[in-house]
Amino acid sequence: MELKVVIVGGVAAGPTVAARLRRLLPEAEIIMIDQGRLVSYGRCGLPFYLSGQVRDISQLNATAYGVIRDPEYFFKEKRVRMLNRTRVLSIDRQKKEVCAENLESGERFAVPYDKLVLATGARPVVPPFARNRLKGVFFLNHPDDVQDILAAIEGVDEAVVIGGGLIGMEAADALVKRKMLVSVVELREQVLTGVLDRELAMALVNRLEERGVEFYLGEKVTCLEDDGAGHVCRVVTNGRSLEARLVIVAAGVQPNVELAESAGLSKGTAGAIAVNEYLQTGDPDIYALGDCVENYHLVSGRKVYTPLASVANRQGRVLANNLAGWKDSFKGVLGTTVFKVLDFNAGSTGLGVEQAREAGFKAVGTLIAAHDRAHYYPGSEIILLKLVTEEGSGRVLGAQGIGTGDVGKRIDVLACAITFGARAEDLTKVDLGFAPPFSMPMDPVHNLANATSNKQKGLLKGISSLGLKAKMERGDDFILLDVRTEQQAKARPIDDRRLKVIPLGELRDRLNELPRDKEIITVCPMGARSYNALRILAGAGFKDVKSLEGGLQGWPYELD
């Protein structure tokens, strides 16, 4: 008997299941149901259509060879019946059928299944202040949202983005590319909470502010004011009032679990549908995947909600394998994320320092600045990379990075390291490729692992930008030793009473100018010279010396 599979949801995860399953089971009956008009589109491409980088929105639901993925495509190429503009109203687990409604005709009908797949996705969180849906207030979740935003942009030169997560940052990027002045309001004290640790998030904000984006962190939006004609004119927070004729609300997403709950299927601790490693719900004939399910975090061991297209697509293959009778499992996630904001690349994988400590690890962070390729090669850029390791074992728990250079490939290497249980010391010996257009002879991953290893061995005592700033604000008594060249120190001077400038090349001959009874913190542009200075001082018997990690590249404050 032919297997009959019904898939609810046709954006990302559902089509992946259908395509893989058809390759495994040529004779299976596969029906996919989605309430939207457009199906199988790349939601992650929406910000790039908004920015103008993607010229035609049809590119987002076309194959790489230019065929639009519509119901006709699915039937002709996949032999999958796609019922779009159709909503599944309920699941009858005893009869093993779903009740569906055609949204255009109103017709209701039952669709029987042998196996049911829920790929119901997620929807934007709508905060109370946005529920009256003033004109000029938008979300960024569907192609129709982008079309509406583009229709409203003409004549508007300022916008406010509410939310500093991934969607908010990509929305800000898109609007800046549309030559708009953009303000970002974020409830938390930093952007990208859960993606970047505070010091890297601050460094990214510092760079974006230099390019004209304004940030209002730690501020709660209390209301959106209208102009009397139903159009937004102002965003009011607990700290200020911002003029705005265009507002994008990016307060996050929440899983669509109502259909599953109404069928008696359980939610997990992360608030999404609970599934086992085979992506089965509590009903062995009902599977779920993508943005509507929770996942197991491979480092923390906790259940997490990770609405990422990369996760959904990998789950789709695993789920299809199981439907076809193969025993396959989805072990879990690291939350690996890469993204671009203006000309800055950023990414993370695994746990940040505070996340790791909350999960029970004695976590240590190490930050470096490095060239992403040979410094003499045209286009070489500087990146900041941070490695999170377990104290003692050196096990890699997480990694993060930002910069105008190639951050993504380093994050991917480090995600592999975490997956396979590598230690920092192991990473120092990985045989990575080198050519001047791609990397340094010692890749930034090697430099990061070496710095971490040096810290573990007591050769490097680092201090973060946050730690140094706190000491400066407290008025602590220490020496801030600047080992840049005189020209560099004059070009970007540090205004602090504790400052002492001694270029690295002169340090050995001028040791008598430094007190041996005070803490000394060495600084330089990228951290390499300050580490060398630390080792010179340690070799000369200085007992309390630290180096600013990441150098001034990682310093997110004014130097005065």
Beta-bridged to residue 237, according to DSSP, are: 221
Buried b (16+ CB within 10 A) or exposed e, 245-281: bbbbbbbbbbbbbebbeebebeebebebbbbeebbbb
Sign of CA dihedral 278, 283, 285, 286: negative
Q: Which amino acid is at 362?
A: K
* Three-class secondary structure assignment of 168-192: HHHHHHHHHHCCCEEEEEECCCCCC
Query: Could you give the C-alpha distances from 80 to 15, 112, 168, in angstroms and in order?
Result: 9, 15, 35
Q: In this structure, what are the phi and psi dihedrals at residue 402, rounded to the nearest 5 degrees?
A: -145, 160
Lateral strand order in the sheet of 247-249 = 137-138, 247-249, 158-162, 181-186, 214-217
Q: Rounded to an integer, what distance in angstroms lies between the CA atom of residue 181 and that of residue 209?
A: 11
Supply 38's token pair: 């457009």
Q: Which amino acid is at 427?
A: L
Q: Which residue in the block uniquely carries the two structure tokens 């979740």? A: 141
**Residue 44 among the catalytic residues:** yes
Q: Are 123 and 140 in contact (CB under 8 A)?
A: no
CA 443 to chain centre: 23
Q: Rounded to an integer, what distance in angstroms lies between the CA atom of residue 183 and that of residue 186?
A: 10
Buried b (16+ CB within 10 A) or exposed e, 469-479: bebbeeeeebb
44, 223, 233, 416: the catalytic one is 44
* Strand 363-371, strand 382-390: pairing: antiparallel
Q: Rounded to an integer, what distance in angstroms lies between the CA atom of residue 491 and that of residue 488?
A: 5
- Which active-site residues does the annotation give? 44
